[in-house]
Homo-oligomer: A and B are copies of this chain.
Amino acid sequence: MNTKLVKTIREAITLAGLKDGMTISFHHHLRNGDYVLNLVMDEIAAMGIRDLTVNASALFDAHAPLLDHIRNRVVRKVQTNYISAGIGRHISAGLMDEPVEYRTHGGRPRDIALGITPIDVAFIAAPCSDRMGNCTGKYGRSACGSLGYAFPDAMYAKKVIVITDELAEYPLTGWSIPEIYVDYVVQIDAIGDPAGIVSGTTRMTRNPVALVMAHTAARVIQNSGLLHDGFSFQTGAGGATLATAMYLKQIMLRDQIHGSYAQGGITGYLVDMLNEGCFRALLDVQCFDLKAAASIRDNPNHCEVGAAQYASAGAKSSIMDSLDVAVLGATEIDTDFNVNVHTDSSGRIMGGSGGHSDAAAGSKLSIITAPLFRGRLPIVRDHVNCISTPGKDIDVLVTQAGIAVNPRREDLRERLTQAGMQVLEITRLRALAEQITGTPAPLPPAGRVIAKVIGRDGTLLDTIGERKEEE
């Protein structure tokens, strides 16, 4: 019987011909429950292979063992779209000689497809695979739903290794990635911790500030002229962004508005909106909870999209290009509407663009929901520490104290004011923030460049400087 099954990860690495200095890749659908990146990196380290570039669609705190592989020069360079704070602060402290290359969820597939960031060996954690590598995230005890971010890795890497903990009879139907791209399949005991892969349910926030912002954001959408039959929508899984969907749903059901689709990372809340007729389809690059993972398995209108189809500016089009409204977050936003989602207020890495810049650029209306301040730090500032998404792509800022519209969107300001909404200057929101927090002291100058922020079109947007721990 024809098979691509090999016994161990090590055997697959050997067969794939991995050598010093090559590039390997990982996807992040198993999120903070992922075991695969660490298992593979430990094996590579034990094999004595060094100076690798790791291209991972995102890095979570579960991947902290990677830090030791960086220290030991197993890993020389990192390319990613997101780094969680637990890893980020070490990168910020100057762990790596070479700067991290940050991309967006749309820039990564673009640069892989264009050969700008070639991959030698892709490791694909797959909750279910057959012996020939037809694999999916929809089935198996580690089911995570969509495997969209891994599509470009599978299509363009020279060698592709699928690592699974559930082997299906050939042929697995409903594959996410077909066998034509796969070289080797390894079955292991567990590819991840189900509790960390998808949350049980995405909880709706009860934070009153978040609810106020969400309610306002929903009114902005309602009055934008975009909320009619065919409406399309992207939002996140966190606080105010998800709560915006809650208020939006009330409006859509009340006014019998039948949207076309919601997209991006998908929560059970958006599944409910699909099932209640708010949308005709969900286009899903990442499932955030169990309800989303079950829905993408069972509902043909809940469709998996690859990273290129989600967001690539290099594709002939992506679903971003048809998006009406995106509701996004920010760790900082400045008076030119530039948004920072890479660093915290001390300039240390604690995130990344993910699909932020892509959705902001693609959507007809991009809304940032952000509180005026967090702790004692203002969120609206003169200049962000890092430009993650350029201000030209942001239309509206919603805070608990009011909204500001990008001067570039005078048409929108008029619509909103005519609808009775008060629109403030963004400098006024900054002043309101600083009334409470005081004017923040400027950060001391950063050190050498430890990360480059590359925009979705491949241009350098900004750099992030070293911040020693003692600062």
Given A132-B322, A178-B309, are A4 and B317 also a contact pair (CB < 8 Å)? Answer: yes
A residues 286-308 touching B (CB-CB < 8 Å): 300-301, 303, 305-306, 308
Q: How many residues of A contact B (CB 8 A)?
A: 38
A169 to B258, CA, bound (A): 12
Q: Is the C-beta of A182 less than 8 angstroms from some C-beta in chain B?
A: yes
Tallying the copies of this chain within the complex gives 2
A375 to B160, CA, bound (A): 53
Q: Which residues of B contact A281 (CB under 8 A)?
A: 171, 173
CB within 8 A of A321: which of B2, B280, B318? B2
Task: Please list 29 pairs of residues, one from A and one from B, whose beta carbons are closer than 8 Å in the complex, sorted by A's number.
Answer: A2-B317, A2-B322, A4-B317, A132-B321, A133-B317, A169-B260, A170-B230, A170-B260, A170-B261, A170-B322, A171-B283, A171-B303, A173-B281, A173-B303, A174-B300, A174-B303, A178-B306, A178-B309, A179-B316, A179-B317, A179-B318, A180-B308, A180-B309, A180-B312, A180-B317, A180-B318, A181-B315, A181-B316, A183-B316
Contact with B along A440-461 (1 / 0, CB 8 A): 0000000000000000000000
Task: Verify B169–A230 contact, CB threshold 8 A.
Answer: yes
Nearest-CB distance from A4 to chain B (Å)?
7
B-binding residues in A (CB < 8 A): 1-2, 4, 132-133, 160, 169-171, 173-174, 178-183, 230, 260-261, 280-281, 283, 300-301, 303, 305-306, 308-309, 312, 315-319, 321-322
Q: Is the interface of A mostly helix, strand, loop or mixed?
A: loop
Q: Which residues of B contact A301 (CB under 8 A)?
A: 173
Task: Verify A261–B2 contact, CB threshold 8 A.
Answer: no
Given A171-B322, A303-B173, are A316 and B180 also a contact pair (CB < 8 Å)? Answer: yes
Nearest-CB distance from A288 to chain B (Å)?
20
The residue in chain B whose Cβ has the minimal distance to the Cβ of A172 is B281
A180 to B316, CA, bound (A): 5
Extra contacts besides A160-B316, A173-B303, A180-B306 (13): CB < 8 Å: A133-B317, A170-B322, A171-B261, A171-B281, A171-B303, A174-B300, A174-B303, A179-B309, A180-B316, A181-B315, A182-B316, A183-B316, A300-B300
CB within 8 A of A169: which of B4, B280, B315? B280
5 closest cross-chain pairs (CB), A and B: A180-B315, A2-B321, A179-B317, A173-B281, A178-B309
